[in-house]
Structure 1
Amino acid sequence: MTRTRAIGFALTALAALAALALPAVLVAGQSDADTAKAIGTPASADEPQRVTIPSIGVDSPLLRLARDQAPPPEKGMTAGWYTASAMPGRPGAAVITGHEAADGRAVFRDLRKLAAGDTIEVKRGDGKLLRFTVTATETVGRAAAFPTGKVFGTTGERALRLVTCTGDRDARGHPVRNLIVYATLRA
Structure 2
Amino acid sequence: MLDPSPPVRITAQAVGLDAAVDTVGTAGDSTVALPDEGDRAGWYSASVTPGQRGNTLLVGHVDTTRGPAAFCTLGALRKGDHITVHRRDKSIARFTVTALNVYERDNFPSTSVYAPTAHPLLTLITCADWDPGNRTYTANLVVTAQPEPQQVSQSARDRPT
Measured against the shorter chain, the TM-score band is: 0.7 to 0.9
Matched-pair contact (CA < 8 Å) for 2:14–2:82:
yes
Is residue 116 of structure 1 aligned with residue 79 of structure 2?
A: yes
Match of 1:52 in 2: 11
Provide the secondary structure at the position in 1 that maps to 2:56: strand
Structure (1 or 2) with the larger CA radius of gyration: 1
Can you list the C-alpha shifts for 1:72-123, whole angstroms capped at 9, x where unaligned?
2xx1111110000111101110000011128751111111111110001000
How many pairs does the alignment contain?
A: 141
| Seq. identity, % | 34
Q: CA RMSD in A?
A: 1.8
Partner of 2:21: 62
User: CA-to-partner distance for each residue in 1:4-35, whole Å, 9 max, x for gaps?
Assistant: xxxxxxxxxxxxxxxxxxxxxxxxxxxxxxxx
| In structure 2, distance between residues paired with 1:130 and 1:168 | 32
* Cα distance in 1, alignment partners of residues 139 and 42 from structure 2: 19
Amino acid corresponding to residue 71 of structure 1 in structure 2 = P
- Aligned: 1:181 with 2:140: no
Read off the aligned partner of 1:76 and give its amino acid letter. G
Letter in 1 for 2:86: K
User: Secondary structure, in 3 states, of the residue corresponding to 1:55?
Assistant: helix
Question: TM-score when scaled to structure 1?
Answer: 0.70
Local SS of the residue matching 2:14: helix
Structure 2 residue runs without a partner (length 5+): 27-31, 150-161
Match of 2:46 among 84, 93, 97: 84
- Corresponding residue SS for 2:50: coil
* CA apart distance, 1:53: 1.0
Q: Is the 8 A contact 1:45 1:125 kept in 2?
A: no
- Bigger proportion of residues as helix: 1
CA distance in 2, matches of 1:104, 1:134: 26
Aligned to 2:102: 139
Asked if 2 retains the 8 angstrom alpha-carbon contact of 1:170 and 1:176, the reply is no
CA 1:71–1:172: 2 relative to 1, 3 Å: farther
For the 8 Å contact 1:164–1:178, the answer to whether it is kept is yes
Structure 1 or 2: more strand by fraction: 2
TM superposition shift of 1:172: 4.2
Q: Which residue of 2 aligns with 1:154?
A: 116
1:119-175 deviation per Cα after TM superposition (whole angstroms, max 9, x unaligned): 01000101111100000010011122x222222112112100000011122544221
**Distance of 1:104 and 1:120 partners within structure 2:** 23
Query: Partner of 1:143: helix, strand, or coil?
Result: helix
SS of the equivalent of 1:85 reads coil
- Structure 1 match to 2:35: 71
Q: CA contact under 8 A between 2:4 and 2:52: conserved in structure 1?
A: no
* Structure 1 residue 126 corresponds to structure 2 residue 71: no
TM-score after normalising by structure 2: 0.81
The structure showing larger relative contact order (alpha-carbon pairs under 8 Å, at least 6 residues apart) is 2
